[in-house]
Structure 1
Amino acid sequence: MPPAKELDPSASPQALYGAELRHLREAAGLSQADLGKRVICSGAFIGQLEAGTRRMPPDLAHRIDVALETNGFFERHCGAVRKSKHADYFAQAAELEPYAASICEFSPILVPGVLQTEAYARAVIRAHDPLQPESLAEKRLSARLERASILEGPAKPKFWAILHESVIRLPVGGRRPMAEQLNHIGTLAQRDRILIQVLPIATGAHPLMSCGLTSIMTFADAAPVVYTESEHTGRLLDDPSLVAMYTASYDLARAVALPPEASLALIRSVAEEHAHADTI
């Protein structure tokens, strides 16, 4: 994550909020660790709040107001700063993605969001809520496609995904759109922008079989985090022991999945099957 000195307060309301926290903390003569002790959190988390890369929980906002004698400033503005174009349970993880040095995802059933084509994403959003207004569906679609911009840079973040074979077999949006989706993944892999492994159905039991969508994010200047998601809920985990366990399971899954070259060949083959299914 970027150090505090690189923070641009004009970048977002959250960045401005973080800049104000740093200004008031320094004015009080406190280090990040000192403030953390007073408000019952780590100094590292205070640093992440100041950098605008983590969201301030309402209860913590109240404790910071008391510690810094800010007359309720942070608690009053906490709700506005926490607004996001993403679902509440996913917002923190989405905001961290652009700062990640590496992202390692496991997906048991869906193509990861940052790899989704417009047609695929639209089908997922519509299936999730068939009766939603078109304007809301388009807003959700725009937010999802915007996340793909993190892959526009040549090297950062490094993106590694393990997809269960079910992901590439399921014709989301129809056979032809699914073929386009798989070819999009193949193009990103061939450009050496992402690493993809497929976990074959024939593998049977595997190290991540109890997990839903799982994302492990590392950062240049902060501890790694894990995001896990199931229907209508998600959790961002930063406990070092939990992160270590998820990382170990992910490494084991890498070992039993197909190698990247074989995975890419399978993805291309299944894309062909989808593309020609209607003509057989």
Structure 2
Amino acid sequence: MVQAREIDPSASPLDYYGYELRRLREGAGLKQSQLGDIIYCTGSLIGMVENGRRVPTRDFSERVDAALGTDGHFSRLVGLVLRSVLPTWFQAYAEMEARATFISTFQSQVVYGLLQTEAYAKALLSVEYSGRVDEIVAARLDRQRILAREIPPVLLVVLDEALLHRRVGGREVMREQLAHLLTFVDRPWVQLQVMPFSVGEHTGMTGSFNLLRFDSDPDLFYAESYDSGHMTANSQVIRERSVGYARLQADALSPEDSALLIARVMEERYGDQCGPDRRAVA
């Protein structure tokens, strides 16, 4: 059993979650091990969450709500918890992304976070967050819930062909990731395009960026550097980047040809014909 420590519920969303879990578990007359038996986990995991030493998942929260009859209390809290574990400089963008009705993104290095598989995200994030990769991955996957809404945001995506070839996590991870991209081809609110190598220079070569549009708020432009994010509603920046994005869409392959390219790279570079050295057979 994990030794209980005093929790200040005002210290962070994670501490508030742990405080509430302990309070409502004890109110239900359950020991940590008993609650663990009900929701199919160990009592020590319950203790670590209560002590703020483990970030809860959405599945864990839903099972706790069902076990304690808390009417979605923890399912609502977990969104705040997961967002709080994101890098501080990224949290403001994540909040705006969740509210956007139109998202336009150009990505030159990696697949856009909303379209990443769990395995791809884990391989990518383990480079910088090896000590807390599971909680960062959980937070990234939780962002993707906006795509499952009854009315999701319109999502316009242009991906540089280079990221299709950049091996993140190994052959199987990349094959799964590219297959996942293809599942978005027929969704009416998603337009996925690839900027092919054959285009040469283009307006996105200065780096990845996102444009967010809202029903009643000003448009936003967002870009990242190594350890910070820049977000602005400056009308001139929005104007310039919107024109730049339109040019990217015009230069990129059509959605149909993009899907064919993704499928071809998936089979030729990451398919079963790859040899034992895990390189694509020429």
Q: What TM-score, normalized by structure 1, do the two folds share? A: 0.66
Kindly report which structure 2 residues correspond to 1:60-209, keeping only aligned pairs within 5 A, or say none: 84-129=84-129, 132-133=130-131, 136-209=132-205
Distance across 2 between alignment mates of 1:97 and 1:257: 24
| Structure 1 residue 224, shift from structure 2 partner | 0.5
Cα displacement string for residues 180-221 of structure 1 (whole angstroms, at most 9, x for unaligned residues)? 10111100222334211100112111011112x211000011
Give the CA deviation at 1:277.
Answer: 4.8
Relative to total residues, which structure has the larger helix share, 1 or 2? 1
* Higher relative contact order, chain-length normalized (CA < 8 Å, sep 6+): 1
Equivalent residue for 1:272, pick from 267, 271, 279: 267
In the alignment, what sits opposite 2:221?
226
Which amino acid is 2:99 matched to? Y
Structure 1 stretches lacking a partner, 5+ long: 1-12, 14-79
Q: Which amino acid aligns with 1:175?
A: R
User: What is the one-letter code of the residue matched to 1:125?
Assistant: L
Determine if contact 1:109/1:164 at 8 Å carries over to the other structure: yes
Amino acid at match of 2:217: A
Q: Is this contact kept in 1: 2:184–2:192, CA < 8 A?
A: no
Count of residues in Structure 1 that have an aligned counterpart in Structure 2: 197
Shift of 1:230: 2.2
Deviations 1:148-201 (A, max 9, x none): 111112542000110000111111111111011011110022233421110011
In 1: Cα distance, 2:243 partner to 2:274 partner = 42
Distance 2:151 2:262 in 1: 23
CA distance in structure 2 between the partners assigned to 1:154 and 1:256 by the alignment: 32
Instruction: Evaluate the alpha carbon distance shift between residue 277 and residue 167 of structure 1 in structure 2; reply closer, same or farther with a 3 A threshold.
Output: farther
- Distance in 2, matches of 1:191 and 1:222, equals 26
Q: Structure 2: which 5+ runs fail to align?
A: 1-12, 14-79, 276-280
Would you say the 8 A contact 1:155–1:193 is kept in 2?
Answer: no
Residues 153, 189 of structure 2: 8 Å contact kept: no
Compared with structure 1, are the counterparts of its residues 241 and 172 closer, same or farther at alpha carbon in structure 2 (3 Å cutoff)?
same
TM (normalized to structure 2)? 0.66
Q: Give % identity.
A: 32
SS at match of 1:278: coil
Does 189-198 or 87-96 show the bigger shift? Answer: 189-198
Distance 1:206 1:236 in 2: 22
Residues 277 and 128 (structure 1), Cα distance of their counterparts in 2 relative to 1, 3 Å cut: farther
* Deviation of the 1:142 alpha carbon: 0.4
Distance verdict in 2 for CA 1:185–1:193, change over 3 Å: farther
* Whole-angstrom distance in 1 between the partners of 2:236 and 2:186: 35
